[in-house]
């Protein structure tokens, strides 16, 4: 009797987990009260689903390739006194990933410009510059490397993204919408606190000379999109996903095991941060 009861509980528990997975909405998790403010630890199964959602929503932009962006850990120290970890446990200060397009040697692909950022509760976000250097923005190159650029140069790249990119509307119709026709995010913000935990927990015990930071494109459902026509819609919107990898073994440090209470970011991807818009003024 006890064995049968245990078996039934196991089966019901498994079915409940599957049901919750399919009903679970990343948008609700990321934007409505989650404790991981400014960056969230993701297991493999959720991250892969977000990669697929990006492909479905943005594949209409066939001339723009999904890029392979990675930065050797040692190169990060060139990015403004290690841009990714210098903000300590701050929640309103951190790093912005600005959405841009890159056209290099005839090859076109999605990319990001990375900068320091401060989110304010009432005013627009601030992007602090490195003292004595107007090239405080870092354009990520495909297959490694960074290129310092100015704010003006970044604005040109962001304008190209805004003017050229479209998304598929698959909820429920299958139409195409220009992102300039709604408030598509222009950057994603990762807090200093989440970045510190993500870096510390994944670097611990590993050879930093062999570590790369990979940046993948994912997407989350945004149920509150207001189109230029005035009506609301649900769309998948792009988000950067950060993952550590071993450049010698080819290992991606992302798994689907149970979350650790003491090291929730260990072997996890980092996402979503805060999307701006709509989360420009929420700490």
Asked whether residue 15 is domain-assigned, the answer is no
Asked whether residue 25 is domain-assigned, the answer is no
**pLDDT, tens digit, 9 for 90 and up, residues 3-32:** 444 444 444 444 433 433 444 444 444 444
Asked whether residue 1 is domain-assigned, the answer is no
**pLDDT, tens digit, 9 for 90 and up, residues 30-60:** 444 444 457 888 888 888 999 999 998 998 8
Asked whether residue 111 is domain-assigned, the answer is yes
Q: Is the bond preceding residue 272 a cis peptide, omega within 30 degrees?
A: yes
**pLDDT, tens digit, 9 for 90 and up, residues 243-279:** 999 999 889 998 877 777 889 999 999 987 888 888 8
Greatest CA separation found in the chain?
75
Asked whether residue 18 is domain-assigned, the answer is no
Asked whether residue 7 is domain-assigned, the answer is no
Domain carrying residue 211: 35-276
**Number of domains forming the structure of the chain:** 1
Asked whether residue 17 is domain-assigned, the answer is no
């Amino acid at each position: 009797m006890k064995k049968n009861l245990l078996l039934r509980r196991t089966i019901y528990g498994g079915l409940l987990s599957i049901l919750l997975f399919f009903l679970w909405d990343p948008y609700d998790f990321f934007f409505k009260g989650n404790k991981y403010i400014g960056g969230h630890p993701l297991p493999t199964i959720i991250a892969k689903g977000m990669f697929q959602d990006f492909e479905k929503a943005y594949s209409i932009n066939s001339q723009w390739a999904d890029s392979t962006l990675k930065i050797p850990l040692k190169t990060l120290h060139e990015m403004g006194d290690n841009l990714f970890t210098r903000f300590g446990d701050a929640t309103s200060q951190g790093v912005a990933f600005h959405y841009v397009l890159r056209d290099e040697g005839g090859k076109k692909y999605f990319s990001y410009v990375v900068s320091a950022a401060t989110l304010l509760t009432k005013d627009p976000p601030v992007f602090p510059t490195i003292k004595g250097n107007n090239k405080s923005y870092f354009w990520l190159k495909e297959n490694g490397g960074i290129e310092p650029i100015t704010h003006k140069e970044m604005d040109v790249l962001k304008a190209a993204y805004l003017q050229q990119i479209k998304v598929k509307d698959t909820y429920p119709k299958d139409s195409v919408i220009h992102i300039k026709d709604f408030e598509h995010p222009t950057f994603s913000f990762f807090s200093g606190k989440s970045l510190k935990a993500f870096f510390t927990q994944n670097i611990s015990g590993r050879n930093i000379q062999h570590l790369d930071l990979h940046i993948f494109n994912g997407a989350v459902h945004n149920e509150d999109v207001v189109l230029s026509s005035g009506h609301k819609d649900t769309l998948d919107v792009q988000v950067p996903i950060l993952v550590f990898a071993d450049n010698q073994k080819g290992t991606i440090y992302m798994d689907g095991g149970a979350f650790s209470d003491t090291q929730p970011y260990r072997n996890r991807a980092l996402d979503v941060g805060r999307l701006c818009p709509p989360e420009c003024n929420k700490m």
